[in-house]
Structure 1
Amino acid sequence: MSTDAQQPHGSEQAAQDWKHWHEERTATVAGPYGPLSLTGTHWLSDHPEGRIPGVPGQWREDGDELVLSASAADGLTVDGEPFTGQVRLTADRGPIDESRVAHGERRLVVLSREGLWAVRDFDPDSPARRAFRAIEATPYDARWALPGTFRPYDSARTVRVENADGVERGLGLAGEIAFEADGTEHTLHVAVEPDGSLWAVFADATSGNSSYRFRFLRPAAPAEDGSVTVDLNRALLPPCAFADHFICPFPPPGNTLSVAVEAGERNRVDG
């Protein structure tokens, strides 16, 4: 690991910032509607009759909407009010706890991917949430906060990658970040988020061994000259590390680093 990477501010303050980030991240993951609470992603194509085992109501596709039918016995609420009859739904975009359909404390979230519809079931009383104890993470090390450069593509592109559920889906990419580690230049293909920040799905020499099989990285928006800090101390476990029902994309071609990234979040710890 190179020892001359420069941290954008004092390493002591950076270590405190990282500690605060890690504590907030753990609290978010462990929250009532964090990723640990997902107990199922139910694709309606698997339930053409509209009845999902364990999920109240009848759900059917109708063009670019879902139609939910329910009786009083189903015990559903829509927009916080007891619901009977029919309602047309679009994909939920906001926080999980603000999704339109609920069953007690459970939140039934409408999802759409590449023309297919699903209902996700988030339950604060999930076994995974009860078992969770911590996120194993390597303490902050300034050597892993690396100066990098963002190189946008001439035009955005989409690559097909396998997802955690075994289905291949499109992954949009807008450029790459280049940085040096262990004396070698590395690159990661990245997406650009609506706020300008970057998102990479990557693996490295620790993946599947001392770290989860792949991780996410979310660098801040690059400066006008393309400079960006590639802080691998903030490598994130993907949602599918916390629940099997997420459909996280695997790293695209070119995003498996030869270096061992012994930094950031490594694994979920259960008790």
Structure 2
Amino acid sequence: MSTSENTATDAPQDWKNWHEQRTETVSAPYGPLSLTGTHWLGDAVEGRIPDVPGRWSDDGDEIVLTAAAEDGISLDGAPFTGGARLTADGGPVAASRLAQGGRRLVVLRREGLWAVRVWDPKSEARRSFGGVEATPYDEKWVLPGLFRPYGESRTVQVPNADGRDRGLGLGGELAFTVDGDEHTLQVGVEEDGSLWAVFADTTSGRSSYRFRFLRPSAPAADGTVLVDFNRSLLPPCAFAAHFLCPFPPPGNSLPFDIAAGERSVRIR
């Protein structure tokens, strides 16, 4: 059997392994299903956040937390009382500096605004999770693509899942052909050179979530890149309503069905 035949034979199993790992990741104790709130400090009344202990305030490049013993907060693994100045958490949720029992309190900064996120392994979404609905692998949806970078990166304002408009950085367009017609998606470029797109298609809001993500690898030197819609991802806000997922930018709604990849969250 040739190498190409081996690759074709292995692809469905590789996809199955990917799908199983995705299910494990999203259902982990501090995966996206455990996010129970994103609380903006600008909305806090007298520094109090509903169902979050302590008193919180914005102080420019830091936030200030004041807590008493009865609040039950720990900081860096030790019981915390008094005041602390904090910056945004940049690591894994499980390693966040603040906790209250099994809950993690994660400091977030987005476009200059501060928020506190609450992650709870006992969330209702995690308890009721029954899996990720996904279309079985179909080689039809593995397409050759071409990345065309913009001369300089662009930022467009798009609605986010929480109802606010925010900037979405775009570094170029990803071109591919379906049934003889070329289509493009505007894509962002990650620090490692990989691409990501927010897109919709004619299944969106019908047989799949209202939009999805696609994360191709870094293009080759000539711009070629594999576009595999079998690995279309549900955005985090499909798992919990407290994420700030961006909606597709103009031009990223494809005029046909993409019957591939993750479609929806199954509730048991």
TM bucket, shorter chain: over 0.9
Equivalent runs, 1:116-265 vs 2, <5 Å: 116-265=113-262
Alpha-carbon distance change, 9 to 145 in structure 1, aligned in 2, over 3 angstroms:
farther
Q: Which amino acid aligns with 2:47?
A: G
- The match for 1:31 is 28
CA distance in 1, matches of 2:211, 2:5: 26
Alpha-carbon distance change, 225 to 9 in structure 1, aligned in 2, over 3 angstroms:
farther
TM-score, normalising length: structure 2: 0.97
- The match for 2:92 is 95
Runs of at least 4 residues off by over 3 Å: none
Q: Which amino acid aligns with 1:45?
A: G
TM-score, normalising length: structure 1: 0.96
Say which SS state the counterpart of residue 94 (structure 2) adopts. Answer: helix
CA distance in 1, matches of 2:84, 2:23: 36
- The match for 1:3 is none
> Could you tell me how far 1:10 is from its partner in structure 2?
2.1
Say which SS state the counterpart of residue 151 (structure 1) adopts. Answer: strand
CA distance in 2, matches of 1:98, 1:201: 28
Q: Is the 8 A contact 1:177 1:190 kept in 2?
A: yes
> Could you tell me how far 1:251 is from its partner in structure 2?
0.1
CA distance in 2, matches of 1:49, 1:174: 41
Say which SS state the counterpart of residue 10 (structure 1) adopts. Answer: helix
Q: Which amino acid aligns with 1:58?
A: R
Q: Is the 8 A contact 1:101 1:108 kept in 2?
A: yes
> Could you tell me how far 1:182 is from its partner in structure 2?
2.0
> Could you tell me how far 1:108 is from its partner in structure 2?
0.5
Instruction: Count how many residue pairs are aligned between Structure 1 and Structure 2.
Output: 265
The CA RMSD over aligned residues, in Å, is: 1.1
- The match for 2:105 is 108
CA distance in 1, matches of 2:231, 2:5: 14
Q: Is the 8 A contact 1:112 1:118 kept in 2?
A: yes
The sequence identity of aligned pairs, in percent, is 68
